Amino acid sequence: MPELPEVTTIVKGLQHKIIGFRIKSVWTDYKKNAKNLNLLKGKVIKKVTRRGKNILIYLSQDYILLIHQKISGHLLLGRWILKNGVWVPMQNNGISLDRVNNYIHFMITFDNGEMLALSDLRKFAKIIVGKKQDIESLKELVSLGKDPFDKTFTKTWLIKKIEHNTRSIKQVLMDQTIIAGIGNIYSDEILFDAQISPLRKANSLTGVEIEKIYKSIKKILKLAIRYKGTSVSDFRDINGYPGEFSKMLKVYNKKSGKCVKCHSDIKTIKINGRTAHYCPKCQK
């Protein structure tokens, strides 16, 4: 599932491209996960932001288009033509060169001819259109925790949130009601960078250890954004290209790999049903 760096990559790409575009038409073959798409026609794109793993596209007349890409979804910007029920790309770039971009189930056409598509192999992505106050008050947005790049996300705040929590630190980092945007990939990489075992109970960590985690959160997420996210499987940027941070992963998905620091075997375990990867020698 795209996490904070991947969603930020998409949002930044759209911010530089679609502001001011007017929606001419909308197509979808979603039956369950799309709501009120009839409200999109004629609206103008005003702003694109991120909230946790959600993309919020602010529209004219006080509407918002919310897109959660879920497990395999990613947004693409380009031009397509519909042939025999299949969207065929008209540009020769990452969109046309990578088959993971071919599973299009949602398409917006703008009045200037540009198009915004959602490619989603598993068809789990969620799309909702509504009035600004209705979307912003959705439980899934209101319940989100603090964003790692919010000014109020401080070392002191993190210590208070962690020091009495009895769950594993990996579970805490992935809890969207505490910190919004961190999932399986970046919790593994953050804890490796901080040299903390994912098995540690959060309330066993010292202030110094929590400060290390805080610094690693900032460091790893910023680096991943710089390299346009991680593409382990389906994620691509708006031009259809994979994220480059995949090449920089130290432990995530390294099931039979060696630690880059001590050359010990990377260990894979389950924590509350989620897979964790770590070095048992470096991470204590």
Segment-wise mean pLDDT, segments of 10 residues, the chain, 284 residues: 96 98 96 93 98 98 97 96 94 93 97 98 95 98 98 97 96 98 98 98 97 98 98 94 96 93 96 96 98
Whether the CB-CB separation of 247 and 260 falls below 8 Å is answered with: no
For residue 231, the 8-state DSSP code is: -
Helical packing angle, 207-226 and 184-194, nearest 10°: 130
Does the active-site annotation cover 122? no
273 exposure class (CB count in 10 Å sphere: 0-12, 13-18, 19+): exposed
pLDDT, position 226: 98
Task: Say what the pTM is.
Answer: 0.96
Whether the CB-CB separation of 211 and 175 falls below 8 Å is answered with: no
> d(Cα 249, Cα 253) in Å, to the nearest integer?
8
Number of neighbours of residue 35 by Cβ within 10 angstroms: 14
Does the active-site annotation cover 274? yes
* 217 closest CA partner among 183, 167, 262, 257: 183
132 exposure class (CB count in 10 Å sphere: 0-12, 13-18, 19+): middle
Q: Which ranges constitute the DSSP H helices of 26-179?
A: 94-97, 132-136, 139-142, 155-162, 169-174
* 197 closest CA partner among 262, 205, 261: 205
Provide the terminal-to-terminal Cα distance of the chain, rounded to the nearest Å.
27
Number of neighbours of residue 150 by Cβ within 10 angstroms: 12
> d(Cα 186, Cα 53) in Å, to the nearest integer?
13
155-278 belongs to CATH 1.20.1060.10 = no
Residue 196 backbone phi and psi in degrees, to 5 = -115, 135
> d(Cα 106, Cα 69) in Å, to the nearest integer?
12
Q: What's 4-142's CATH class?
A: alpha beta
Residues of the chain with CATH 3.20.190.10: 4-142
> d(Cα 13, Cα 239) in Å, to the nearest integer?
9
pLDDT, position 64: 98
80 exposure class (CB count in 10 Å sphere: 0-12, 13-18, 19+): buried
Pairing mode of beta strands 274-278, 54-59: unpaired
> Count of residues for the chain?
284
3-state DSSP assignment of residue 51: strand
Residue 259 tokens read as: 């630690």
Does the active-site annotation cover 200? no
3-state DSSP assignment of residue 49: strand
Which position among 51, 53, 170, 254 bears the catalytic label? Answer: 53
Residues of the chain with CATH 1.10.8.50: 155-278
For residue 65, the 8-state DSSP code is: E
pLDDT, position 232: 86
Longest Cα separation, the chain:
61
Residue 191 tokens read as: 């804890």
